[in-house]
Structure 1
Amino acid sequence: MADRPDPVTVVGIGADGWAGLTDAARTALTGAEVLIGAGRQLDLLPPSCPGRRIAWPSPLRPAVPGLLAEHAGSRIAVLASGDPMFYGIGRALTEVLGADRLRVLPHPSSVSYACARIGWPVEDTETVTLVGRPTARLAAHLHEGRRVLVLGADADAPAAVARLLREQGFGPSRLRVLEQLGGPAENCLEGTADDWPHPPSDPLNIVAVDCRRAPGALRLGAVPGLPDDAYEHDGQLTKRHVRAVTLGVLAPAPGELLWDIGGGSGSIAVEWMRSHPSCRAITVERDPERAARITRNADRLGVPALRVVTGRAPGALAELPLPDAVFIGGGLTGPGLLDTCWEALPPGGRLVANTVTLESEALLAGAHRRHGGELVRLAVAHAVPVGGFTGWRQAMPVTQWSVRKPPTEPAPHSGDTHR
């Protein structure tokens, strides 16, 4: 039986460089034949580390398998910032090699350092990374009184964070930018988002945000049923109360994928994704103008990863990854749409369809007879002035069919299987 190759050692290193490493980390680095890391990390190593030094190329992730294969059989040490398993290279290495081929020696993360400096309990502090991700994703984490640490991608990150906070109505929020944490050049800059006074400084930074909402700014809660005013729309919008009921029946869970068909303004997909950071959604909308509007709503409400497909269902569904749940908010009378969605669902998947027309209601009644589930009618009335008095104005009732596909066989993984 062939000897197993030596594990790849992953060493977390901070801004304090060699001086901050443990004896085990120093031994691993001095004994390595190949040293891989960012250029600034490799520069922190002394001459007593004689291994061949290789800087990660850009883009990094596609290069990982090739670099490891090229140096197979050598003793490899990889440098990482802080804790390699916290938004670090450790994830990519685990996916390529498997956990049993790695030996990870973590260093305190920038989050641990930041919380230690400003007195925030780590367990009560949210962390958002903007490294390789759009700034817009921060918007979903903004709530009055919350504390958020933002991992910056570059020296421009603090100004970008301040700008987003102003746009989201959180201009009074206090910002502290902590640079070079743990190193001799450690520094802290302070200000508010409304009046951020500092030019770009050190690219190695983390932004601490004390969230404060401006007076009069729209309040967005953490559960489905955001105010209708939170969305840009042309009238094609699942209204707030029906939306809350619909998301309750769809029941998003972490990591699940939703198909939102007939996206309109994208409200169902947006609030599905806001329910948990790992939730994913694809919205299908045939009108290009509305599709562009969905993208804007997703950015503004903190879920820029929402995928928008411009096309007509069911044809536009052909190459999509299998969903865990499907919502049909428009296009029910399209030939074969309901059957296509039902066939795409894995066992245990959920389907919810809403309609206000008699023609589509008849289709839902037929689907209910064939597949079971629950058929309900949702009616909402709003109090409005009637002369000098107040009366009820009834909105169009919504017929909703919801059903769970019988779990008769193991469900395929939604991210890996295509129709």
Structure 2
Amino acid sequence: MKKVYIIGLGIGNLSYMHNKAKETIRACDCLIGAKRMLKDFIVSGKQVYESSNAESICNYIAQGDCKTYGILVSGDSGFYSLSKKVTKTLETYEDIQLENIPAISSLQYFSSKLNIPWDDVKYVSAHGRNLNIVSNIIFNKKIFILTSGDFGPDSICQTLTSKGLGHLNVSVGENLSYDDERIVEDEARVIAEMSFDGLSVMIVHNDDYISADEAYRSIKDDEFVTGKAPMTKSEVRTVSVGKLNLKSDYTVYDIGSGTGSVSVEAALKLYNGTLYAIEKDDEAVSLIKKNIEKFKTYNVEIIRGTAPEAIQDLPKPDACFIGGSSGNMDEIINAVLKKNPNVNVVINTITLQSLNEAINCMEEYGFKDVEIVSVAVAKSKKMGKYDLMIGQNPIYIINGKGSDVL
């Protein structure tokens, strides 16, 4: 039976390592890890294997003849660590007994330096991940970020500043626990102009974050900033957004956004996603901007133009709402399906001609689970002592899921 220890080395400075980790390292026959992990522990007679690739490490141990192996990982073995992949593989071997030994993580250390608790911090990593930084920040009061060379503190703060979030307070930690440790606290717009080591950490503080409860309510029409641009009314908007079958990390198009009411209500459900509001009218674009600011939905990107041309350079959508097509419905649906053949599409129409066009498009492009809903809403209005029901125009909501026809 082989014994494998995955040993967290902690924040970096060895004085922060606990005795259990040091004793285990001394007892191991073979030490495994990246060069910077191994450099302080190489001694005569101890076998060493330099690698940070989970598959290579597991194969090496499976084929090796040592009795005890120590895999050295940075930080805590349970916090964005190589341990996750290694543990999953080695647990399948009957002749290997596995134990993880924890350590101080960068989140713990940095929070202690800032004298703040970390039990209410949302944490994410930019290491090899497609991180939606804006959505993560607007929905959380405090968010801890493990930055990367391509997505460092300055780059992240530049993104925040461009989205109107440059006023947020940010704390950055560089070379934590070492003699050249550097901790900077300032507004995002200031930190955007600084330079940092790629492998830094940061905490963004957002006291004006969006509560998760906002996603569960239906927004009243009079809460929106309105003008002459069309707006999808509350009851129809609730049904339409529901038919999009959103998940928190979706990429969503709102084509013909008008005032942005659908964009805002959908964006409040995208904790890790992005919504693209496509609108050609200047006045409507101005209203969308005002409603984004009012509801703090900075995960909405406004695309000024007419679809399908305006969506050509956008990432593929998981869901698409079409509130206005400018006579280009067929071309829009064709373009959306080319980006994602399995996209979920919801179309709102008022006229029978547009309804017929939408149905024909669904049939032509082989949409699955097509559903047509007619919504007729009447709302009460006070007339003296009486309440009268005032009818609104009926709306047709057509939705379906794309197939692999294209």
Residues 347-393 of structure 1 deviation map (CA, whole Å, 9 limit, x = unaligned): xxxx8x5xxxxxxxxxx2xxxxxxxxxx4516599xxxxxxxxxxx9
Displacement after TM superposition at 1:332 (Å): 4.0
Question: For 1:280 and 1:156, how far apart are their aligned partners in 2?
Answer: 18
CA distance in 2 between counterparts of 1:96 and 1:237 reads 53
What does 1:16-415 correspond to in 2, within 5 Å? 16-30=12-26, 31-37=28-34, 39-47=35-43, 50-56=46-52, 63-74=53-64, 75=66, 76-98=69-91, 102-134=98-130, 137-143=132-138, 146-154=141-149, 157-196=152-191, 199-211=194-206, 222-223=214-215, 242-248=236-242, 252=246, 264=255, 275=269, 287=308, 289-293=310-314, 312=334, 326-329=344-347, 331-334=358-361, 336=363, 340-342=367-369, 364=372, 375-377=373-375, 397-400=394-397
- After TM superposition, the score normalised by the length of structure 1 is 0.58
CA positional deviation for 1:279: 7.8
Q: Are 1:124 and 1:147, in contact at CA under 8 Å, matched by a contact in 2?
A: yes
Distance 2:220 2:135 in 1: 15
1:346 maps to none
Q: CA deviation at 1:167?
A: 1.2
What amino acid maps onto 2:241 in structure 1?
Answer: L
Q: Is the 8 A contact 1:177 1:206 kept in 2?
A: yes
Q: For the residues of structure 2 that align with 1:143 and 1:154, how far apart are their CA atoms?
A: 23
Q: 2:31, 2:378 → 1: CA distance?
A: 67
Letter in 2 for 1:122: W
Equivalent position amino acid for 1:33 in 2: C
Q: Please state how far the C-alpha of 1:161 moved relative to its aligned partner.
A: 2.0
How far apart, CA to CA, are the structure 2 residues paired with 1:293 and 1:380?
Answer: 38
Question: TM-score of the superposition, structure 2-length normalised?
Answer: 0.60
State which structure, 1 or 2, has the greater radius of gyration over its C-alpha atoms. Answer: 2
What letter matches 2:255 in structure 1?
Answer: G
Percent sequence identity over matched residues? Answer: 17
| Structure 2 residue identity aligned to 1:341 | K
Uncovered stretches (5+) of structure 1, i.e. residues with no partner: 57-62, 299-309, 343-350, 354-363, 365-374, 382-392, 404-417
- Name the count of aligned residue pairs: 325
1:321-343 CA distance string (max 9 Å, x none): xx9xx44338542364797523x
Q: Which amino acid aligns with 2:58?
A: L
Is the 1:140–1:274 contact (alpha carbons within 8 Å) kept by the matching residues of 2? Answer: no
The one-letter code sitting in structure 1 at the alignment partner of 2:240 is: T
Distance 2:166 2:273 in 1: 28
Note the residue ranges of structure 2 that are not aligned, 5 or more in a row.
276-306, 320-331, 349-357, 380-389
DSSP-derived class of the 1:115 partner: helix
| 8 Å Cα contact 2:345/2:399 also seen in 1 | no
Q: 1:51 to 1:276 in 2, by over 3 A?
A: farther
Check conservation: 2:152, 2:196, Cα contact below 8 A.
no
Residue among 10, 14, 17 paired with 2:10:
14
